[in-house]
Amino acid sequence: MKKEKVIIALGGNALGYNYEEQTKAVERTAHIIADLVEEGFQVVVTHGNGPQVGMIHTAMSDLESNYPMYSTVPMPSCVGMSQGYIGYELQSSIRAELGRRHICKNVTSLVTQVKVDPEDEAFKNPSKPIGRFLTKDEAMLEERKNQKIMEDAGRGYRVVVASPKPVEIVELGTIRALLDAGEVVIACGGGGIPVIENDGRIEGASAVIDKDFASALLAKELEADYLVILTAVEKVAINFGKKNQKWLSEMTIEEAHEYIRQGQFAPGSMLPKVEAALQFAASGQGRHALITLLNKAKDGLLGKTGTVIHG
């Protein structure tokens, strides 16, 4: 029997918003991933890094300000650090959980680079929130340090950085080889380390790629059966937060386009998820994109909940 291939994109609540939360959240997440492996799915895990890469970037900048011997750590290296430590924690927790269930499988986290277009308009219009939520006073202080600040979906102020669209996954062949070897693979963390091609060489770009778009690209390239975007809501809603709010179990491709046109999904939160889900579902027949709550992943894949867009 063909094993169904699933790309699982983990959002903030799967990882927590600081280190302490992360260690607890990752254990819960490992159970959920292990459930899917036990169910027989071939699993690739991707994850966000917005809070973590902001934390790393702030720490690195503070280090440079306080100790002159340290020099600036560029944003792509901060993304690499976030992939490394989040990947390590996921890898060790998932491995331990599989071990407890006597499932003998390797779990590998891969530092992944993702090419972006140097002409992408996003470089001129930073829009990706990173780091912690700031008060208005803290936001004004950051603005004085030349950081760009935006209000984040009614939840406070955050630093924003450029977020170009992913174009090509440099380590795609390695991800495929690991998956074909039966491993659980963690890849494209934080949307991947953004890189641009210059005279045949690749070099880091100062940006943070949206993990939902990188996950959709990975799912397409691996010809996955499902893209599962796990977040803090069980379903996607129209008229979200209003009296006439309606939770959706399904959207056709046409409906998804129409709701996006109507502005039903908040930019920087639900909009990229629906756009990424749509991109994957529209890329071929038999491709399904599911958006649901972290602990409903298995139920969602079994068709019991979540919002699904069918290709």
Ligand X SMILES: NC(=O)OP(=O)(O)O
Please identify, among the stretches 64-72, 107-115, 197-205, 264-272, the one whose residues bind ligand ADP according to the rule CB under 6 A. Answer: 264-272
Instruction: Tell me which stretch binds ligand X (CB under 6 A): 57-65, 94-102, 108-116, 203-211.
Output: 203-211
Instruction: Pick out residues in 13-52 that bind ligand ADP (CB under 6 A).
Output: 13, 48
How far apart (Å, rounded) are the C-alpha atoms in residues 192 and 110?
10
Q: Which residues pair with 288 in a beta bridge?
A: 226, 310
Catalytic status, residue 273 = yes
User: How many Å apart are CA 78 and CA 81, to the nearest integer?
Assistant: 5
Q: Which does 49 bind (CB under 5 to 8 A by kind): ligand ADP, ligand X, none?
A: ligand X
Task: Give the pairing of strands 250-251 and 307-310.
Answer: parallel
Mutual orientation of helices 75-100 and 19-39 as an angle, nearest 10°?
50
The residue range among 20-28, 143-151, 152-160, 208-216 that interacts with ligand X, by the rule CB under 6 A, is 208-216
Residues 172-191, interacting with ligand X (CB under 6 A): 190-191
Using CB under 6 A as the binding rule, whether residue 215 contacts ligand ADP is answered as no
Q: Residue 237: name its binding partner from ligand X, ligand ADP, none (Cβ under 5 to 8 Å by kind).
A: ligand ADP
Catalytic residue among 16, 131, 190, 273: 273
Compute CA distances 178 → 37, 171, 186, 220, whole Å: 15, 11, 10, 17
Among the listed residues 6, 12, 56, 186, the single contact to ligand X using CB under 6 A:
12
Q: Whole-angstrom Cα distance, residue 113 to residue 304?
A: 35
Rounded distance, CA 125 to CA 157, Å?
Answer: 17
Residues of span 34-53 touching ligand X by CB under 6 A: 48-50
DSSP state of 18: S
- Residues of this chain that interact with ligand X (CB under 6 A) are 11-12, 48-50, 190-191, 208, 210-211
